[in-house]
A and B are shown apart, each in its own frame.
Chain A
Amino acid sequence: MDFLTLLQVLDTSVRLATPLLLACLAGLYSERSGVVDIGLEGKMLAAAFFSAAVAFYSGSAWVGLLAGVGASVVLAVIHGLASVTFRGNQLISGVAINFLAAGMTVLVAQSWFRQGGRTPPLEGDARFNPIELPFAIGPKDAEAAGKPLSQMIAEAGPLQQFYSELISGHSSLVYLALLTVPLTWWLLFRTRFGLRLRAVGENPAAVDTAGVSVVWLRYAAVLICGVLCGVAGAYLSSALQAGFVKDMTAGRGFIALAALIFAKWRPVYALWACLLFGLFQALELRPDIIENVSGIKVQVQLLGALPYILTVVILAGFVGKAIPPKASAEPYIKER
C-alpha cells in the first residue's frame, strides 16, 4: 500500500469518525452527570431528518442544522423529563426515544416528501461543503491547472499530500467536532460547572448538600447532549451524505456509546476511540486494502462487529477495566 492510499483511508476514517465523535461527546456529558443515554441513536436520526428537510426547504445547511439541533433537543427534554423529573428508568426512556425517532422520521418524511421515507437530495448551499484550507490543493487549483484533482494530489510531495488529502477539504462540522474535544476537556476539568457536573454523576447527595441543584445540572447535561447529537445528525444527512434516508444512523449511536465506554468516559480518549472505530468503518468499505497489506482475507462482517466486540472485552475488564460514573442510571430523590 502506498502513502496516498493510506492517506485516503485515513481521510475516510476522519469523515466517518466525526458523527461518532459528536455523539460520543454528547453521551459523555449526559453520563458524566449520571444520566445514562442509550437514545443517542434516536436523537441523531431525528436531527438527520429535520436538518435535511429544513435545509431542503430553506436552501441553507446552517438553518437545517438549527432545525436538527431543535429536534434532537426536544427528544433530550423528553429524556430529561423521564429520567430527572419523573425519576423513571433511563434505559427504558432511551429505548423509547430510539423507536420514537425511527418511526416519526419516516412518518413525517412520507407526509412531507412522499418519497418512501427519504428527503430529496440536497445540493449547493443546502449541504455543508468541503472547506479548502490555505495552500492546500483543492478543486479550484485542479480546474486552473486543467487536470483532475486526484492527479494533482498524486503528483504533489508527501507533505502537501498529507495536508491536502487528510487535513484540508473537510466540511466545517468536522473541524467543529475536533474543536469540541479540547473544549469539552476544559469545560469538564477546568471549570466550576464541570466539577459540579462530574460530582453530580458520582455523588448527587453531596452536590445537593453543597446547595447546588442536582436537577438543574442534570438538565444542563442532557440538553448539551441533545445539542451535540443534533450536530452529529445534521452532519450525517447534510455533510457526509446529501439527504436523509430511512434509518440512516445505522447503529452509529450505539457505536458512539461503545466508544464512550472504550474511552472510559474521557474526552481525549473519546477522540482516539472514535478515530479507531472510524478506521474500522473505513476499512469495511475497502476490504481489498487489508487483503493487499496482510495477505489475509478479512471478513467485512468481522470489521463491522469489531467495535462491539472490543467494547465487550473492555467492559469485561480483561484489559483495563472501564468503570462508569458511580451514580449512573440512578434517579436522585431529594430528602425531605
Chain B
Amino acid sequence: MDKMPKWADIVLIPLISLLLAAFFSALVILAIGENPIEALKLMVDGALMRSSGWGYTLYYATNFIFTGLAVSVAFHARLFNIGGEGQAMLGGLGVALCCLYVPWPHWSLAILGASVGAALFGALWALIPAYLQAKRGSHIVITTIMFNFIAAAILNYVLVELLRPVGAMDPASAKFPDATHLPSFQDMFSTETNKMFRGAPANVTFFLALAASVFVWLLMWRTKLGYQIRAFGHSESGALYAGISPVRITVIAMLISGALAGMMSVNTTMGESERLILNSTEGAGFIGIAVALMGRNHPFGVLLAAILFGFLYQGGAELALWTSIPRELIVVIQALVILFTGALDNMVREPLEKLFIAMRRRNA
C-alpha cells in the first residue's frame, strides 16, 4: 500500500517545497533590507500585468520547457544530465550553421531545418557522455559537466576564429538572413489599433516547445520505447531481465535529452538574437534541473514550472531595474527550489508520510 495518496505526492510535496523556498527567499530579501511583499508586487506587475511582460515571461519559459524536458527525459532513465547547458550551446551552433549556409525561402521551412540542426548537434554532444556511461562506466554527471566546459571552449573558438565576420570586434556570428526571421508574438497577435507584446522576444518557438511537451508525453507514456526508458529507470536489473538493453536505453535517452536541450537555442539564437552569440544559453540548461525537479518529471508539470521560472526571470529583471535587488536573487530562488524539491525531498516527505499513516490509522 502507498504511504501517501497520489495527489499528495504530485501536488502537496512540490507545493510545500515551493513555499519553503519562497519563505527563505523572503528572508533573504528582508536581510538585504528590502520589503519582500513590495518585491513580489513589482515582479507580478512587471511580468504578468502587461502583455509585454508576458512576452518576456513566455520567452524565458520557452527555454526552460526545452531544458526541463531534456533533464526529465534523462531522469526517467535515472540519468542525471547536467550537460544541458553545453548541449544547448552546441545546438546554437547547429542553428547558426543552418541559418547562415542554407538559403531558406521561408521562415516556416527555416525553423524546421534549424530545429533539426539544433537537435542533431545537441544530441551528438550528449552521445559521447552517454556512450562512455553505457560502455565504459564513467559517471554521466562528471562527463557532462566536463562537456559543458569543453562546449564553451569550442563555441569560443568557433566564434572568435571561424564565424566572426571580418572586422567585427565582438565574438558573434554574422546576422542571419531576413528570410529566417521568426514571427514574434508582436507580429502574430497585434492588430492595427492594439499593439500586443510590444518589443517582447517571445516568438513562434513557444508553440514548438508546447509540441515538444506533447511529444515527450506521448513518447514516455504511449510508446514501447518510453515504457522501456521508465522501466530501466525504475530497476536496471529488472529491465535487463525483461530483455531491455541498458546500453541502448542509456544512449537513446541521452540522445533525446540532448536533442531537446539543443532545440532550446532555436528560441534564443534564431528567435531572439538572430545571430550566434557567446552566452546565449545564460544558464538555462541548469534551470532545466530545477524545472524538471519541480515539475516531477511530467511534461505538464515541466510546463507549469517553466512558466513559473519564466515569471521569476522576468520579475527578477524588473526588480533589478526598479530596486537595489540584483538579478542574482533569481539564482538564489533557483538554488532554494533545487535544494528543497531535489536534495532535501526526504525532509518534507518523511513527516508528511508519518502524518498520512497516522490519519489513516485513526480513520480505520
Which A positions have Cβ atoms within 8 angstroms of B?
A: 38, 78, 81-83, 86-93, 95-100, 102-104, 106-108, 110-111, 114, 117, 251, 254, 257-258, 261, 299, 301-302, 304-305, 308-309, 311-312, 315-317, 324
Closest 5 CB pairs of A and B: A103-B331, A93-B343, A99-B335, A103-B332, A315-B138
What chain B residues lie within 8 Å of A251 (beta carbons)? 149
The reply to whether A92 and B293 form a contact with Cβ atoms under 8 Å apart is: yes
In the assembled complex, the Cα of A95 lies from the Cα of B83 at a distance in Å of 12
Provide 20 A-B residue pairs closer than 8 Å at the C-beta atoms, listed in order of the A residue. Answer: A38-B141, A86-B350, A87-B346, A88-B344, A89-B80, A93-B344, A95-B338, A99-B286, A103-B329, A103-B333, A104-B28, A107-B32, A107-B325, A114-B324, A304-B149, A308-B147, A309-B146, A311-B146, A312-B150, A317-B138
What chain A residues lie within 8 Å of B156 (beta carbons)? 301
New A-B contacts (15) at CB < 8 Å, excluding given A93-B339, A104-B28 = A78-B339, A81-B344, A86-B345, A88-B344, A91-B82, A95-B82, A102-B331, A102-B335, A103-B335, A107-B329, A108-B32, A304-B153, A312-B143, A315-B143, A317-B137
In the assembled complex, the Cα of A90 lies from the Cα of B344 at a distance in Å of 10
Other-chain contact of A308, B150, B328, B330, B339 (Cβ < 8 Å): B150
Other-chain contact of B339, A38, A82, A254, A302 (Cβ < 8 Å): A82
The reply to whether B32 and A111 form a contact with Cβ atoms under 8 Å apart is: yes
The reply to whether B146 and A316 form a contact with Cβ atoms under 8 Å apart is: no
The reply to whether A117 and B326 form a contact with Cβ atoms under 8 Å apart is: yes
What chain A residues lie within 8 Å of B289 (beta carbons)? 92, 95
What chain B residues lie within 8 Å of A100 (beta carbons)? 332, 335-336, 339
Number of interface residues of B (CB under 8 A): 51
Query: Which one of A107, A254, A317 has the greatest number of beta carbons of chain B within 10 Å?
Result: A107
What chain B residues lie within 8 Å of A87 (beta carbons)? 346
In the assembled complex, the Cα of A213 lies from the Cα of B150 at a distance in Å of 41
Which B positions have Cβ atoms within 8 angstroms of A?
A: 28, 31-33, 80, 82, 128, 132, 136-139, 141-143, 145-147, 149-150, 152-154, 156-157, 160-161, 286, 289, 293, 324-326, 328-336, 338-339, 342-347, 350
The reply to whether B33 and A102 form a contact with Cβ atoms under 8 Å apart is: no
The reply to whether B132 and A312 form a contact with Cβ atoms under 8 Å apart is: yes
Smallest beta-carbon distance B279→chain A, Å = 12
In the assembled complex, the Cα of A89 lies from the Cα of B156 at a distance in Å of 33
Smallest beta-carbon distance B251→chain A, Å = 15
